């Protein structure tokens, strides 16, 4: 076994999965550091669930290799499962059991020594904030947020090296989302975590790194900051000022002829306009605008701030580039 594989929680090399003529995964390769929280994103049908099922030993790969904690998934399925805590999107909890009963039952199924079950269940209930209000409640009477907490408690019961969570915050209210976010953050460093979600702002807040897949291939891999530089490198600023569009355009040309005025909108019930300006290189655009606008006492600057691309913007840019590459390849093939 190569040391380059054993140092990772997850190591995937040239993974492929075919269903008949459909390539669900096409030559997928990536790795996850120990203790890292990874956001795993992609459109519906991109291959996220297939990847997570292969890593969990639920379905076999057609070709390629997947390792969890240095163990080959295909050759050591049961051993690999002992290293993983899996929380599916639709968590099949038994409605008739009480929370503490269910977690003690699951602890025994996961091979936790009978003498250690009570202590470990108490630990995860406290970590997931189930110990005060929910420990003795029947699961069918729990809110969606508490059911998600039970799912996470189940996933971390055996202190696995890798946690896989599929849509852990879907359907939750803002307070519940914050609680789950804090809970996931508390796992950082102790366990590696893969989170698949369509709630992109949550992914950006909690994850160290993001992988975006489309059509079974990786189209982006890196921290949100590095992906901004890769896919949306321009600098964008919003400016609220008492100045006409014509005069503002003149000011922009004085600063840099390459600046682009993307939009100008009147601010309701005021004499101010809101301008969106972009630049490929000018990091000091904000300072330059303040300097130029301050030269004319008839002009008033109310606000200026940089607009940073969101993870949603990066997601759209990455998948769009991938679709365009696929289209170009098909067109060249057609010729």
310-324 tens-digit pLDDT: 888 898 888 888 777
The whole-angstrom separation of Cα 333 and Cα 147 is 50
Q: What whole-number percentage of the chain has pLDDT above 90?
A: 50
**Which residue is associated with the tokens 């690999």?**
80
Question: Which of helix, strand or coil describes residue 218?
Answer: strand
Q: What whole-number percentage of the chain has pLDDT above 70?
A: 96
Residue 283 has pLDDT above 70, yes or no: no
Confidence of residue 335 (pLDDT cuts 50, 70, 90): very low
Question: Which of helix, strand or coil describes residue 89?
Answer: coil
User: What domains lie within the chain, and their CATH numbers?
Assistant: 86-159 (no CATH), 233-306 (3.30.70.260)
pLDDT in tens, 150-185: 998 999 999 999 999 988 888 788 888 888 888 888
**Average model confidence (pLDDT) across the chain:** 88
The whole-angstrom separation of Cα 204 and Cα 310 is 8
pLDDT in tens, 27-71: 999 999 999 999 999 888 889 989 999 999 999 999 999 999 999
pLDDT of the residue at 307: 86
Confidence of residue 334 (pLDDT cuts 50, 70, 90): low
pLDDT of the residue at 41: 92
Q: What is the mean pLDDT of residues 118-136?
A: 91
Question: Which of helix, strand or coil describes residue 268?
Answer: coil
pLDDT in tens, 194-222: 999 888 888 888 999 999 999 899 999 99
Q: Which helix (H) or strand (E) holds 225?
A: helix 224-231
The whole-angstrom separation of Cα 235 and Cα 280 is 6
């Amino acid at each position: 076994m190569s040391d380059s594989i054993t140092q990772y929680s997850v190591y995937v090399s040239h993974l492929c999965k075919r269903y008949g003529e459909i390539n669900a995964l096409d030559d997928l390769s990536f790795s996850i550091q120990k203790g890292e929280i990874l956001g795993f994103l992609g459109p519906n049908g991109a291959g996220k669930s297939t990847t997570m099922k292969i890593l969990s030993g639920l379905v076999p790969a057609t070709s390629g290799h997947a390792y969890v904690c240095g163990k080959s998934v295909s050759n050591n399925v049961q051993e690999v499962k002992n290293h993983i805590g899996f929380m599916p999107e639709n968590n099949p909890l038994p409605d008739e059991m009480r929370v503490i009963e269910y977690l003690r039952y699951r602890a025994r199924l996961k091979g936790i020594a009978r003498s250690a079950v009570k202590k470990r269940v108490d630990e995860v209930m406290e970590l997931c904030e189930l110990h005060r209000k929910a420990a003795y409640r029947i699961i069918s009477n729990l809110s969606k947020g508490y059911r998600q907490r039970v799912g996470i408690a189940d996933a971390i019961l055996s202190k696995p090296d890798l946690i896989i969570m599929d849509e852990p915050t879907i359907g939750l209210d803002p307070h519940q989302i914050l609680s789950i976010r804090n809970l996931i953050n508390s796992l950082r460093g102790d366990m590696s975590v893969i989170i698949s979600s369509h709630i992109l702002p949550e992914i950006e807040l909690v994850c160290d790194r993001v992988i975006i897949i489309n059509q079974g291939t990786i189209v982006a891999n890196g921290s949100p900051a590095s992906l901004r530089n890769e896919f949306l490198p321009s600098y964008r600023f919003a400016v609220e000022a008492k100045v006409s569009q014509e005069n503002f355009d003149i000011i922009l040309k004085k600063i840099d002829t390459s600046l682009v005025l993307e939009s100008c909108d009147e601010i309701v019930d005021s004499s101010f306009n809101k301008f969106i300006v972009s630049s490929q290189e000018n990091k000091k655009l904000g300072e330059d605008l303040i300097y130029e606008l301050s030269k004319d006492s008839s002009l008033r600057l109310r606000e200026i701030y940089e607009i940073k691309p969101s993870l949603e913007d990066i997601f759209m840019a990455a998948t769009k580039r991938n679709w365009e590459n696929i289209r170009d390849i098909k067109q060249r093939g057609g010729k």
